[in-house]
Chains A and B, each alone.
Chain A
């Protein structure tokens, strides 16, 4: 579904991504892992279009994404759960979801998606009229994820969903992401700092280090490999 070839992205005059190749097939769960500054968020920014691509191609369902305006890309079926949640703090929980659902598919499947969201995150239904800015970190993460689901996407990008959350809360979130993938057969691209959480449930994964793919492979290979630690700590 998503084919990234030889991606080069420059940020502030530096090379943020250097020749990255990445593939996500339909219904797959792909994880991307790596230390800070490795380029994980830049990768997502390139997919969503908030950063310019210097070289290379990004193809989504065969279509060249680089030619598509950033604000049009979600309407193609790509949902992005941003780093740091980025909920609309001045809007209510319900309104945040409505914002997610402005895509055509989102509007068509609104009732169904809303039911699903309320099932996996019942607390959101309870707080439907509350301003999103008053929710806790974990609840905001649930909202950000639900907002993405409301758009009825084909592909969901999760950018460091565990960041800033207490470990137990982060675990909950991960569980939901995994079950979401299983139940709805959603295609997932997950970026994380926490290696095991990311690789435990994936089909395949990538390790990024200073803008390059240091290694990639199937789940079991990755879990066993200490190269990951090398990517983080240098040995």
Chain B
């Protein structure tokens, strides 16, 4: 299936390039020839920006740094050392890539707005350094002897043709990324970085890979740009407008889509250039205004760009948006728990000792110690604020404990990166489910399998198995925007079990479900257990839990209040007191 998607992209690409090439041959006006080349250049810059920002969701204004370095590499290379741009561009690309990697490594540690601000600073800082180095205007020298060896041509259209080659390279890279696990992993990071980690995605690795490729493309096209404009200044290379323009054409055309940048570029560049040519005399800033207005309109009207607006229009499927109602039909509830009596007989898979985590002086959990045997179902319950979700976050090392140890299958988890824990065999669901709305169920789930296999075919098979296990097989290739809330919940479970984990953490999976839906989910959990997965579940719905779990662990104010069989715990006065209050227990005790 994937082959078809790639094929259609490539066919459209070939078509586009051919049309572009042919129309180019007919243009005789030098200005318009230049414009066509510029469209291609900004498309490539946009693609470069798209890779790190569009797919990943990181807002960066720093691309001018890589672009500028490419431009200066070619310019200075030719001027000082006689290096032909044919080589200079490749060099520029490499340097751009390395610089991107070096910048990305520390900067990715920063969160949200701080990341954007830092990325903004780099090119501007470099700009000042270049001004100081007296590189105010570096002009590419005219070569009289064998100019084509130095990428100097009489006919502007040759440049356009070369530009097409670079464009093709960039598009192929973008298409490859988008249709591979690379793209899916980046999307997962964009959706929810923490959830992506717990699905096994090595976030830093993918981000660095993305920015390095991004830097390579930007450096490459920056070098080419130098051969077009012939004079490189710090402002044109590293200035804000350079980064802004890449951002604008991509956002306008379609963020996170391979075709977005070229759509935006093909519309905005000719528009602004033509207006500038016609009215530039009395309205000198007209091109800037065009870009500014374009971005304002787009962010308010179609925040993801033209491509997606059109895409959604043609893929409109009405979601049967009836929320789940509480069904009041009677039915005989089945008892799922099997290991109540033999609880202690299986080997321990998860061992928690003296686990403590404080947040600014308040203990969220304190001195927790318990063990969970293989193949059982354990329920973690307790009143609000008892520390249940904190506990799960500790299991995934989303938080690092202040004290204590967590041993999974004998291996110490404390200090391990989250995605490695997933690889070891712990899966996790989250309360708020975020999905790739425009993609199918399989595409949504397959991300979970990437951490345990390098083979894409196998990953897809594992995803399909997971989807079948949760009972959604008939919806495997359906777009998830049409899914009901229950189906989305099951999908979330599927993503968590795609990697065939040994243990799964379910976070309030039954919240708000009606009786029938609850039953459905319980049956799915039973199937998971039958497949050998150990289950730890946080829940409030006591009635359902009574039929599900082999053991309860009751947390209250961050400590283990009690542990035991369901029937014992439920009658334990301490438990009742924790939920219903001291006076309730006392009043009942009196009767």
Chain A, residues 31-44, CB within 8 Å of chain B (1/0): the string is 00001110000000
In the assembled complex, the Cα of A234 lies from the Cα of B570 at a distance in Å of 10
Q: Which residues of chain B from 366 to 387 have a CB within 8 Å of any chain A CB?
A: 383-385
In the assembled complex, the Cα of A197 lies from the Cα of B323 at a distance in Å of 34
**Interface membership of B288, Cβ < 8 A:** no
- In the complex, the answer to whether B540 meets A234 with C-beta atoms within 8 Å is no
- In the complex, the answer to whether A15 meets B543 with C-beta atoms within 8 Å is no
Given known A35-B540, A164-B385, contact A195–B584 (CB-CB < 8 A): yes
In the assembled complex, the Cα of A12 lies from the Cα of B580 at a distance in Å of 28
In the assembled complex, the Cα of A52 lies from the Cα of B54 at a distance in Å of 32
Task: List, in ascending order, chain B residues with CB within 8 A of A235's CB.
Answer: 546, 570
Name which residue of chain A comes closest to B579, CB basis.
A232
Complex partner residue of A13 from B385, B485, B581, CB under 8 angstroms: B485
Complex partner residue of A234 from B326, B432, B542, B583, CB under 8 angstroms: B542
In the assembled complex, the Cα of A13 lies from the Cα of B484 at a distance in Å of 8
Q: Which residues of chain A from 156 to 195 have a CB within 8 Å of any chain B CB?
A: 160, 162-164, 167, 193-195
- In the complex, the answer to whether A35 meets B584 with C-beta atoms within 8 Å is no
Chain B, residues 563-591, CB within 8 Å of chain A (1/0): the string is 00000001000001001111110010000
In the assembled complex, the Cα of A14 lies from the Cα of B514 at a distance in Å of 9
Q: Which residues of chain B from 538 to 555 have a CB within 8 Å of any chain A CB?
A: 540-543, 546
**Interface membership of B511, Cβ < 8 A:** yes
In the assembled complex, the Cα of A121 lies from the Cα of B584 at a distance in Å of 27
In the assembled complex, the Cα of A37 lies from the Cα of B383 at a distance in Å of 11
- In the complex, the answer to whether B324 meets A15 with C-beta atoms within 8 Å is yes
Given known A12-B485, A14-B513, contact A193–B325 (CB-CB < 8 A): no
**Interface membership of A211, Cβ < 8 A:** yes
Task: List, in ascending order, chain B residues with CB within 8 A of A13's CB.
Answer: 323-324, 484-485, 488
Task: List, in ascending order, chain B residues with CB within 8 A of A223's CB.
Answer: 587
In the assembled complex, the Cα of A197 lies from the Cα of B582 at a distance in Å of 9
Task: List, in ascending order, chain A residues with CB within 8 A of B415's CB.
Answer: none
- In the complex, the answer to whether A197 meets B512 with C-beta atoms within 8 Å is no
**Interface membership of A210, Cβ < 8 A:** yes
A116 to chain B, nearest CB (A): 28
**Interface membership of A10, Cβ < 8 A:** yes
Name which residue of chain B comes closest to A16, CB basis.
B512
Task: List, in ascending order, chain B residues with CB within 8 A of A129's CB.
Answer: none
A165 to chain B, nearest CB (A): 10
A64 to chain B, nearest CB (A): 23
- In the complex, the answer to whether B543 meets A234 with C-beta atoms within 8 Å is yes
A14 to chain B, nearest CB (A): 3
- In the complex, the answer to whether A15 meets B512 with C-beta atoms within 8 Å is yes
Task: List, in ascending order, chain B residues with CB within 8 A of A10's CB.
Answer: 323
Task: List, in ascending order, chain A residues with CB within 8 A of B323's CB.
Answer: 10, 13-15, 54
Given known A12-B432, A232-B542, contact A196–B580 (CB-CB < 8 A): yes
Given known A15-B325, A200-B583, contact A234–B384 (CB-CB < 8 A): no
Given known A13-B323, A232-B542, contact A197–B514 (CB-CB < 8 A): no
- In the complex, the answer to whether B541 meets A18 with C-beta atoms within 8 Å is no
Complex partner residue of A195 from B325, B512, B541, B580, CB under 8 angstroms: B580
- In the complex, the answer to whether A37 meets B541 with C-beta atoms within 8 Å is yes
Complex partner residue of B540 from A36, A195, A197, A228, CB under 8 angstroms: A36
Q: Which residues of chain A from 93 to 150 have a CB within 8 Å of any chain B CB?
A: none
In the assembled complex, the Cα of A11 lies from the Cα of B582 at a distance in Å of 32
- In the complex, the answer to whether A37 meets B511 with C-beta atoms within 8 Å is yes
Task: List, in ascending order, chain B residues with CB within 8 A of A160's CB.
Answer: 384
Q: How large is the interface on B (under 10, 10 to 19, 20 to 34, 35 or more residues)?
A: 20 to 34
In the assembled complex, the Cα of A160 lies from the Cα of B587 at a distance in Å of 21
In the assembled complex, the Cα of A233 lies from the Cα of B542 at a distance in Å of 5
Given known A12-B432, A15-B512, A37-B511, contact A193–B383 (CB-CB < 8 A): yes
In the assembled complex, the Cα of A11 lies from the Cα of B583 at a distance in Å of 33
Given known A15-B326, A36-B540, A232-B542, contact A197–B513 (CB-CB < 8 A): no
Chain B, residues 28-40, CB within 8 Å of chain A (1/0): the string is 0000000000000
In the assembled complex, the Cα of A84 lies from the Cα of B583 at a distance in Å of 22
Q: Which residues of chain B from 422 to 436 have a CB within 8 Å of any chain A CB?
A: 432
Task: List, in ascending order, chain B residues with CB within 8 A of A36's CB.
Answer: 383-384, 540
Chain A, residues 221-235, CB within 8 Å of chain B (1/0): the string is 001000011001111
In the assembled complex, the Cα of A229 lies from the Cα of B432 at a distance in Å of 29
A172 to chain B, nearest CB (A): 14
- In the complex, the answer to whether A196 meets B512 with C-beta atoms within 8 Å is no
- In the complex, the answer to whether B570 meets A233 with C-beta atoms within 8 Å is yes
- In the complex, the answer to whether B580 meets A234 with C-beta atoms within 8 Å is no
In the assembled complex, the Cα of A201 lies from the Cα of B540 at a distance in Å of 27
- In the complex, the answer to whether B325 meets A37 with C-beta atoms within 8 Å is no
A154 to chain B, nearest CB (A): 29
B105 to chain A, nearest CB (A): 36
Task: List, in ascending order, chain A residues with CB within 8 A of B587's CB.
Answer: 196, 223
- In the complex, the answer to whether B513 meets A194 with C-beta atoms within 8 Å is no
Task: List, in ascending order, chain B residues with CB within 8 A of A37's CB.
Answer: 508, 511-512, 540-541
Name which residue of chain B comes closest to A226, CB basis.
B588
Q: Which residues of chain B from 451 to 492 have a CB within 8 Å of any chain A CB?
A: 484-485, 488
In the assembled complex, the Cα of A196 lies from the Cα of B485 at a distance in Å of 35
Task: List, in ascending order, chain B residues with CB within 8 A of A229's CB.
Answer: 576, 580
Q: Which of B488, B508, B543 has its CB near the most chain A CB atoms (within 10 A)?
A: B543
- In the complex, the answer to whether A11 meets B581 with C-beta atoms within 8 Å is no
Q: Which residues of chain B from 506 to 560 have a CB within 8 Å of any chain A CB?
A: 508, 511-514, 540-543, 546
- In the complex, the answer to whether B384 meets A163 with C-beta atoms within 8 Å is yes
Name which residue of chain A comes closest to B546, CB basis.
A234
Q: A13-B485, A14-B513 are in contact. List 18 more A-B contacts (CB 8 A).
A: A12-B432, A13-B323, A13-B324, A13-B488, A15-B512, A16-B512, A35-B540, A164-B384, A194-B581, A194-B584, A195-B581, A196-B583, A197-B581, A200-B583, A210-B514, A211-B512, A233-B546, A234-B543
Interchain residue pairs with CB less than 8 A apart (23): A10-B323, A13-B485, A14-B511, A14-B513, A15-B326, A18-B325, A35-B540, A35-B579, A36-B540, A37-B508, A37-B512, A163-B383, A164-B385, A193-B579, A193-B580, A194-B580, A197-B581, A210-B512, A211-B326, A229-B576, A232-B579, A233-B542, A233-B570
- B-side interface residues toward A, CB under 8 Å? 323-326, 383-385, 432, 484-485, 488, 508, 511-514, 540-543, 546, 570, 576, 579-584, 587
The 10 nearest A-B residue pairs measured at CB: A194-B581, A234-B543, A14-B512, A196-B583, A13-B485, A36-B540, A37-B540, A10-B323, A196-B584, A233-B542
